[in-house]
Amino acid sequence: MDGIKYAVVTGKSLRLLGKNQYTSNVESGSTKTEIKYWVELFFGVKVIAMNSHRLSRKGRRMVPITGHTMHYRRIIITLPPGHSIPPLLEILEKRT
């Protein structure tokens, strides 16, 4: 479960909860099959679909060194109707 970093709380991710879709950031080296296996094993739910994309790197400058932020992959997991991921749902409900 080390691959999944944290749940994403944005306006779009909150709208996707109504469609039973959960958004989180994962390690950039993780594959979709690994992530699906982790979610199904750890949370005990069936994953219908999964979309992912790599986040763009943002530059950071600390004089005289120039660097980049950490590189993550964002995934959107779709679950069947009636199923949910309780820990992620609780985190998102506390933020709203």
Query: Is it the case that residue 48 has pLDDT exceeding 90?
Result: yes
How far, rounded to the nearest angstrom, does the alpha carbon of residue 38 sit from its chain's CA centroid? 12
Q: Is there a contact between 37 and 54 (Cβ–Cβ < 8 Å)?
A: no
10 Å CB burial of residue 73 (0-12, 13-18, 19+) is buried
Q: How confident is the model at residue 90 (pLDDT cuts 50, 70, 90)?
A: low
Bin 44: left if φ > 0, else alpha if -120 < ψ < 50, else beta: left
Specify the CATH architecture of the domain 4-95.
Answer: 2-Layer Sandwich (3.30)
Q: Report the pLDDT value the prediction gives residue 92, as an integer from 0 to 100.
A: 57
Lowest mean pLDDT among 45-59, 64-78, 79-93: 79-93
What are 50-69's pLDDT values in tens digits?
998 887 777 888 778 888 77
Residue type, 42: F
Residue 85: count of CB within 10 angstroms of its CB = 20
Q: Report the pLDDT value the prediction gives residue 91, as an integer from 0 to 100.
A: 57
Q: Is there a contact between 50 and 78 (Cβ–Cβ < 8 Å)?
A: yes
Domain segments of the chain: what residues?
4-95
